[in-house]
Structure 1
């Protein structure tokens, strides 16, 4: 998320989560400095910008119930807020720091070279953690099977033997491949 989309998302987080909770009396933790609390709220704006307004409103209610302190008016830890948010609306994989970091690491470059980067992307999106060596072996097999299927479907394009859903499946895979390659190449652009 970047540009106007991020700006809009940050505004949504402010309007539907932070402002309502502050109006209710939610305060910074007694051990947090003003600067630390401002950084905490900024991190929430950035990390939750993907969420819809209704889900942010629901999250505000959950966070209010998680409040700490003697008067139950202190913000919970960032990890607690993020875990509650994830139960309401799973972040897009491209917004996940874990997915981006893995794809932009040496492991991600190996996945790109081995042509299983899309399978790894979807697997991390489902599993919520990075693949181990056993999973990578399975992802390589899955990618090989998918390549054969894509080759069959593309040959069918020429002969007019594919259904509309098969055509969309190929288009979706190609779009995912571009998206994942873009995430990986962001790293290469930063390293240059």
Structure 2
């Protein structure tokens, strides 16, 4: 008989939630059973992107960072999520707002203006679009710097020269990130067609 495949939510429960419950982590008495279940389901869904190692590390952190005098109550979800992000950032492609941004006219303008990587990295850092004039200036400046650097490194490689310092790995990152950002825009354009 074939074993049932473990779902994402079940994996988070097995590695993080159930061991913490066994260690004594609990909700306050005022939280209903239904609210407890909903909270832990949402937490499992929010953390399902993490690797097993990331979940183990988060569990160790949570064991010593519970709420209350006895440190035995579940921390606020926002605390858990922000700590999880510091251990292992959520892939940007999982953010619905990012997909909408790159699917919009803003994504096409970023592609046409050669700002895709700079805007993608802005999202990675701030989890929001560059909408203020200051943000847009910073993104434009960074995009120009990176495009120039990519051109210089590619030129050195074309001429048979060795890249300087870590330029080869930087170029690999830049090209890979460009493709990921282009895929976001392309999938949106194809979906709209």
- Using the size of structure 2 for normalisation, the TM-score is 0.71
Contact map agreement 2:157 2:163 (CA 8 A) in 1: no
Q: Does 1:17 align with 2:26?
A: no
Q: CA deviation at 1:81?
A: 1.6
Q: Does 1:63 align with 2:51?
A: no
The equivalent of 1:86 in structure 2 is 85
Matches of 1:32 and 1:189, distance apart in 2:
45
Matches of 1:105 and 1:28, distance apart in 2:
42
The equivalent of 1:47 in structure 2 is 46
Cα gap change, 1:158 to 1:85, in 2 (>3 Å): closer
Contact map agreement 1:103 1:184 (CA 8 A) in 2: yes
Gaps of 5+ in 1: 1-6
Q: CA deviation at 1:179?
A: 0.8
**Deviations for 1:77-106, whole angstroms, at most 9, x for unmatched residues?**
322221232333333433445544543444
Gaps of 5+ in 2: 1-5
Q: CA deviation at 1:180?
A: 1.4
Cα gap change, 1:158 to 1:11, in 2 (>3 Å): same
**Deviations for 1:21-80, whole angstroms, at most 9, x for unmatched residues?**
22234445644552x544433332232233343442342344353246x98655333222
Q: CA deviation at 1:150?
A: 2.3
**Deviations for 1:141-176, whole angstroms, at most 9, x for unmatched residues?**
221232233233333333212428434432321111
- Consecutive aligned runs of 4 or more in structure 1 exceeding 6 Å deviation: none
Equivalent positions of 1:148-159 (< 5 A) are 148-159=148-159
Corresponding residue pairs, total: 184
Contact map agreement 1:153 1:162 (CA 8 A) in 2: no
Cα gap change, 1:110 to 1:31, in 2 (>3 Å): farther
- CA root-mean-square deviation: 3.4
- Using the size of structure 1 for normalisation, the TM-score is 0.71
